[in-house]
Chain A
Amino acid sequence: MADTALDSPATAGHDDHAAGHATSTGLSNNKLAMWMFLGSECLLFGGLISTYMLYRGRHEGSPTPSQLYNIPLTSISSFVLLMSSLTMVLAVSAAQRRDDRNTTTWLTVTALLGATFVGAQVFEFTEFVHEGLGFTTNLFGSSFFTLTGFHGVHVTVGIIMLMALVGIISRSKFPGDKAEVVEMIGLYWHFVDIVWIIIFTLVYLIPS
């Protein structure tokens, strides 16, 4: 079971600096932590998605999911979020080239695309409320808004982080390794995107 990657550097001898990071595995602490956090988030979103799946058919007193969903709109906003993953990865790539200007540009574009997505979601929510589906209306409503709301909050937190990053990089006040932090936030951003890939299919495309 013992993974060689976990063990080998430790046996390599005296010099901790042999690897990119002075750690037993040679991997960055920050990145390791971020991946662990994302693994843990799988169980969070898994719980929310399961709650929705269990309750999506229980929509007494409101229009049904298939009546409510505006597939064209959601498709576009899903596409926007998907493309923000592209711009994010371009930002990471620029950061790794230590190209600050492109990094900040791509980060800004990513944040804007994210904001577009959130905007569409806010619009969608208000539409639903107009049509008679509120947070407290029924089980479908509670679980729909909780699931998509949690995702929306994740996107929003991502946007805040991206903008903070832009600010910090352009003022070049940065503790530690810039590229690595861009990469970490990128991981978070992509994760939020893949969660939406699942939500888009399970919630919107597959009718109850």
Chain B
Amino acid sequence: MSTAHALAVDDAAPGDDAAHADGGHHEHAHGLTDLGYVKVAIFLAVLTGMEVSLTYVHIGAFFMPILLILMVVKFVTVVSYFMHLKFDNKIFSWLFYSGLILALGVYLAALCTFQFFAGN
């Protein structure tokens, strides 16, 4: 249902003013229940716990990648569920993720040029 949502907008019958007149939102139908949000929060809390405990055990080479993966999972979870991006119109995802990916791209590339210099 979430992917079809973008199209749902113009499926609404002409003259179907009710939802609009009272300031209602078509977004209503989406998202989680309050209980669902609590579950997501517990999931996030557990991940945070894992992150922190990782810094106390020494697992060598896997440390960095695992931390980064946990970070990305937390990030995406908050964005998708708390910020409703998963349920919302995909224009929002485009806007946000294009900024995010662009930022990742240019800044990583810039940091790389400092590395290349060191190896020169």
Contact = CB atoms under 8 A, between A and B. Distances in A.
Interface string B53-80: 0110000000010011011001100110
B91 interface: yes
B1 interface: no
Contact of B52 (A6, A49, A75, A177): A75
Contacts of A6: 91
Contacts of B83: 186-187, 190-191
Interface of B is mostly: helix
A3 B96 contact: no
B78 A193 contact: yes
A201 B107 contact: no
Interface string A6-33: 1011011111011111100111000110
Given A12-B14, A96-B25, A190 B79 contact: yes
Interface residues of A, number: 68
Contacts of A42: 96, 99-100, 102-103
A105 to B, nearest CB: 13
Interface string B81-120: 1110000011110111111101110110011001000000
B107 A50 contact: yes
Contacts of B75: 194, 197-198
Nearest to A43: B103
A25 B96 contact: no
A88 interface: yes
A18 B8 CA distance: 11
Contact of B107 (A36, A47, A96): A47
B6 A35 contact: no
B34 to A, nearest CB: 6
A79 B46 CA distance: 10
A133 B116 CA distance: 30
